[in-house]
């Protein structure tokens, strides 16, 4: 799995006693570097986990081929990817399993929550048991068994009705949300292009064949000092920008429960210090967006 991701990606495996092996990311998309995956595989490897960073698809044809050749499961953390596609195929439909997050930071959200997408029908029956505290209660409710029992290790993964009602309203507005998010994303991209180019600040790169869902808009400042100064500059103008992932390979729990792939994670380390995300919400209006762009453009690199 990539080192440049949220800890939920790694927790899922560490909780079951597996060892996350952290692979470096690509400089251009910040996705797991597909050229480094094979060197990280040992005879104890069971799965390749990808995260489509910012909803921009990983190099799935290469990664899928490696998974197949080594007989490994392919799993997608699709927290960013809902609505995105890779060469016409929806993100979240490549792996045998994909995880979807509905945390408040996502395009479609209900505060906290998520979904498991199962692309392998052989996994459905067991998943239904795992999510119902390890029981066959769903079968009992359908009248397929006359009592339900403890069959497997599970937990209370079912969301509450109230949260799902909120999520449903978000899903019903999906097209509208996406339209607005894309408008904000594109306005940032166009409005900052000349400023970014003249300051040597890379803007997000979308490879051919990738349709992204406008999940986040990020810039890569030259270094940590400029990144922090840029965030402070925006805050003084009423704009809340944020950085995120700290590399997992060097985090205390990452070192305790996982390890780095051969070659280390040098790109991840420098990206983590340089990346800043601009506010991206469906309800930002044109004035808000123009204000963010103006505020960013007045920043002078140190």
Ligand X SMILES: Cc1ncc(COP(=O)(O)O)c(C=O)c1O
Q: Which residues bind ligand X (CB under 6 A)?
A: 5-6, 8-9, 51, 77, 79-80, 101, 103, 105, 114
- Residue 193: C-alpha distances to residues 89, 196, 230 (Å): 29, 5, 17
CB of 152: closest distance to ligand X in angstroms?
A: 22
Nearer CB in complex with ligand X: 76/136: 76
Beta carbons of 297 and 230 less than 8 angstroms apart: no
299 phi, psi to nearest 5 deg: -75, 135
Beta carbons of 267 and 245 less than 8 angstroms apart: no
On the CB side of 275, CA atoms within 13 Å amount to 24
Which is nearest to 75 in space by CA: 120, 27, 133? 120
CB of 143: closest distance to ligand X in angstroms?
A: 33
**What is the distance between the alpha carbons of residues 299 and 276, in angstroms, rounded to a whole number?**
13
Nearer CB in complex with ligand X: 215/274: 215
CB of 161: closest distance to ligand X in angstroms?
A: 19
Nearer CB in complex with ligand X: 100/135: 100
Which is nearest to 289 in space by CA: 200, 209, 142, 185? 185
CB of 48: closest distance to ligand X in angstroms?
A: 15
CB of 124: closest distance to ligand X in angstroms?
A: 21
Nearer CB in complex with ligand X: 104/194: 104
Which is nearest to 1 in space by CA: 19, 29, 30, 22? 22
Nearer CB in complex with ligand X: 114/209: 114
CB of 84: closest distance to ligand X in angstroms?
A: 13
Nearer CB in complex with ligand X: 96/105: 105
CB atoms within 10 A of CB 277: 18
**What is the distance between the alpha carbons of residues 119 and 242, in angstroms, rounded to a whole number?**
34
Q: Is 88 helix (H, G, I), strand (E, B) or coil?
A: coil
């Amino acid at each position: 799995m990539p080192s440049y991701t949220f800890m939920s990606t790694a927790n899922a495996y560490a909780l079951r006693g597996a060892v996350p092996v952290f692979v470096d990311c690509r400089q251009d998309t910040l996705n797991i570097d597909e050229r480094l995956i094979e060197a990280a595989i040992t005879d104890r490897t069971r799965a390749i986990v990808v995260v489509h960073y910012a909803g921009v698809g990983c190099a799935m044809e290469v990664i899928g081929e490696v998974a197949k050749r080594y007989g490994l499961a392919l799993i997608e953390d699709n927290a960013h990817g809902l609505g995105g596609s890779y060469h016409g195929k929806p993100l979240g439909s490549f792996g045998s399993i994909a995880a979807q997050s509905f945390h408040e930071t996502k395009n479609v959200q209900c505060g906290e929550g998520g979904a498991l997408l199962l692309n392998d029908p052989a996994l459905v029956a067991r998943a239904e048991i795992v999510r119902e505290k390890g029981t066959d209660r769903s079968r009992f409710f359908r009248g397929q068994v006359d009592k339900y029992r403890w069959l497997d290790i599970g937990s209370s993964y079912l969301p509450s009705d109230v949260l799902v009602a909120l999520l449903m309203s978000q899903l019903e507005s999906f097209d509208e949300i996406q339209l607005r998010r894309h408008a904000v994303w594109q306005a940032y991209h166009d409005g900052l292009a000349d400023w970014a180019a003249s300051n040597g600040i890379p803007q997000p790169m979308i490879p051919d064949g990738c349709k992204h869902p406008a999940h986040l808009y990020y810039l890569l400042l030259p270094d940590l000092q400029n990144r922090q100064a840029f965030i402070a500059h925006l805050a003084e103008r009423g704009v809340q920008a944020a950085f995120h992932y700290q590399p997992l390979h060097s985090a205390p729990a990452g070192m305790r429960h996982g390890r780095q792939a051969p070659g280390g994670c040098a790109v991840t380390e420098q990206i983590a210090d340089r990346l800043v995300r601009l506010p991206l919400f469906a309800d930002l209006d044109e004035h808000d967006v123009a204000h963010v762009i103006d505020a960013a453009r007045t920043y002078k690199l140190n």
